Amino acid sequence: MQQLFAVFLIGIITLQLLSCGNSEKELNKTAQTAEEKTEFIGKDVLQKRDNDYIHKPVKHTPDINFKSIEWIDLIPKNDLDALLNPPDYIAEIKDGSIEDQMESQIQNAISAANDDRYQQALVSINVIPEMDKQAVKIPGFIVPLEFNEDETVTQFFLVPYFGACIHQPPPPPNQIIFVNYPKGLLLESLYNPFGISGVLSTSVIQNDMATAAYTMEVLHYEIYTE
């Protein structure tokens, strides 16, 4: 349990680091202004030549103003407060003990969800209603769910920190975005953060790997750099 809380804190720190370097003024800039430089998406369209796929860069000139947001903007304040103020028993569980194993964590979350605000927050599907149908841009890491015949990712979870849902337990559902992208995204490394721009919806999607409280229609993506 202590590891799970630590992972969530690492996620919060990571998403803040991903956004560090952006001043308040920059956060208020529209994506349209930035994209007027006609930067290349890159890796969005694949061209097959002699059985090898090569990257064909594509110019992107959107006519939508994407609002830059952070992951913390997607989680209701009461859930965030609960996660940042865990109950005393969390600190009492030793790392590596049987109570600290993933299966035990899940069972504890289910059994305590009715009367423990911390456990409720770990599995919360509460969202920020105002985010529904908003055009946003958010940095994150990709957890692939489905691939097409070209081995590009057509469905994935976007998460705030590396390893979520794969090497670490999943974050709360309101910290996961489900993305369906039939065009296919070429993912060369799970370590690469992406800047994803699109339209958010407050729709719950359940998967064997995790549950997402948000979905997104992707309109643009790029490798994220500060």
Confidence (pLDDT) at 72:
96
- Tell me which range, 10-14, 40-44, 119-123, is most confidently predicted by mean pLDDT: 119-123
Instruction: Tell me the percentage of the chain whose pLDDT exceeds 70.
Output: 61
Residue 88 corresponds to which amino acid?
D
DSSP E strand boundaries for 120-210: 135-147, 153-159, 177-185, 194-201, 205-206
The answer on pLDDT for 198 being more than 80 is: yes
Compute the distance between CA of residue 18 and CA of residue 116 in angstroms, rounded to an integer: 31
Q: What is the pLDDT of residues 40-82, one digit of tens each?
A: 333 333 333 333 433 333 334 456 789 999 999 999 999 999 9
- Chain mean pLDDT for the chain: 74
Nearest CA to 127 among 211, 6, 17, 65?
Answer: 211
pLDDT, tens digit, 9 for 90 and up, residues 125-155:
999 999 999 999 999 999 999 999 888 999 9
Residue with tokens 């490394």: 189
User: Coil, strand or helix: which one is 73?
Assistant: helix
